Amino acid sequence: MRVILKKVFTLNKQKIMQMVKLFFPIQIIALIITGCLIYCTKPLDGGRCTYDNFPVSIRIVEISKADSFAFDYAQRSVFCHDPFAIKYIFLDYIALQNKLYPQCQTSYPETSIIKIYNNYVYPGSSYISKYKIEIDNIYSGRILKIKSGSCNPCILELDSIDLNDNFEKDTCN
């Protein structure tokens, strides 16, 4: 009886190992295909976006302390700086408006205010000094208008001012 059981077990073990060797590559391929199908059919939830690029020029028209109604004082305690409203206008706004309609019209009206993108806060005096921002200065850049995906529909990028630079948040004592 013992010999018979040993033979059956050995035979079954060999068959199991053959089946594993045969089906293992098929299982790997099935996992890869399943993963691809899940990833490729997943709805866009930010990222993987494409944009059209529109060159722009802006002119700084006013630099003043931010209006207390426009500024959230909770931000002041986080960023430890007095907020400044840096107003600018787009040069050749009529031509730009026709290209950006409809997604970017509300994001970038003819007169807008520079805010730091990372936290959407007003910059402070150190930011103004670092980027040498002065009234009547003209800056070139681009507006990115979304073409596909579900990211921010419009992004302003300036060549000589980093709108993502959050260095003032590190100045708290």
The mean pLDDT values, 10 residues at a time, for the chain of 173 residues are 56 67 67 58 62 93 78 56 88 82 75 79 90 97 90 91 85 60
Report angle CA 33, 34, 35 to the nearest 5 degrees: 90
Report angle CA 92, 158, 44 to the nearest 5 degrees: 100
Give the pLDDT confidence score for residue 8 in this predicted structure. 53
Q: Are residues 6 and 32 in the same domain?
A: yes
Give the pLDDT confidence score for residue 44 in this predicted structure. 44
Q: Are residues 57 and 27 in the same domain?
A: no
Q: Are residues 165 and 131 in the same domain?
A: yes
Q: Are residues 33 and 94 in the same domain?
A: no
Which residue range(s) make up the domain with 10? 1-42
Q: Are residues 84 and 149 in the same domain?
A: yes
**pTM of the shown model:** 0.65
Q: Are residues 31 and 61 in the same domain?
A: no
Helical ranges in the chain per DSSP H: 2-41, 73-79, 93-100, 125-130
Query: What is the radius of gyration, based on Cα positions, of the chain?
Result: 29
Sheet holding 84-90, edge to edge: 111-114, 84-90, 50-65, 138-148, 154-158
Give the pLDDT confidence score for residue 16 in this predicted structure. 67
- Structural domains of the chain, count: 2
**Hunting for tokens 């009234």 — which residue is that?**
135
Q: Are residues 55 and 29 in the same domain?
A: no
Q: Are residues 62 and 36 in the same domain?
A: no
Give the pLDDT confidence score for residue 53 in this predicted structure. 92
Q: Are residues 16 and 84 in the same domain?
A: no
Q: Are residues 76 and 98 in the same domain?
A: yes
Q: Are residues 133 and 152 in the same domain?
A: yes
Q: Are residues 61 and 146 in the same domain?
A: yes
